[in-house]
Amino acid sequence: MLTIRLYGDPILRRKAAPIGAVTDELRSLADGMIEAMQVEDGVGLSAPQVGVLGRLIVATPDPEDLDSEPVPLVNPVVERAQGEWTEEEGCLSLPDVYAEVTRPETVDVRALDMDGKDMSFAANGWFARVILHEIDHLNGVLFIDHLSSAERGRLRGQLERITRRARETMEGQG
Ligand code: NI
């Protein structure tokens, strides 16, 4: 089982590199990410969150629907974004931290699928939000970066606790 890195782990602040080829190794990484995400009841996950600095994300198209199959996206890019809406978000790297984030409502996305083929599609609502949140991770950006400093101040105690846990985990791994 892949371990999800916690806030405070420096890998979450690094930029992930484009993926050159979709290989069996990448496909098994995507499968592992989906498994790790579902065990934690998440709706999206990025490769840096499992310690891999490559541009791979998995996103659940309809987080409200338990049968909605997560989609892996390689080198995802948002080509167009429209509208705006605000909703409460969380992140598996920031357990129990929730805050309202404003994001575009509709996005046009281009990516490679797990056969290495180009694909583009429009995503709305939660699917768009999850994709934007995960692409942020590929750039070392976390959802709390979108908050006002007052809002981040409100979360400071929680963030410090998670940072301590991340440090203990990293020390435990030697
Ligand atoms: Ni996240």
* Gap from CA of 93 to ligand 1 centroid (Å): 6
Q: How many CB atoms lie within 10 A of CB 85?
A: 14
* Residue at 3 is within a domain: no
The b-or-e profile of 86-118 (16+ CB within 10 A means b, else e) is: eeebbbbbbeebebebebbeebebebbeeeeee
Q: What CATH number does residue 98 fall under?
A: 3.90.45.10
- Ligand 1 centroid to residue 91 C-alpha, Å: 4
* pLDDT above 70: percentage of residues in the chain: 99
Q: Catalytic residue positions?
A: 134
Domain ranges, residue 65: 10-173
Asked whether the whole model's pTM tops 0.85, one would answer: yes
User: Into how many domains does the chain fold?
Assistant: 1
| Domain membership flag for residue 5 | no
pLDDT tens digit sequence for 158-167: 999 999 999 9
Distance 23 CA to ligand 1 centre (A): 25
Distance 159 CA to ligand 1 centre (A): 14
pLDDT of residue 63: 82
129 — phi, psi (to 5°)? -60, -45
pLDDT in tens, 123-143: 999 999 999 999 999 999 999
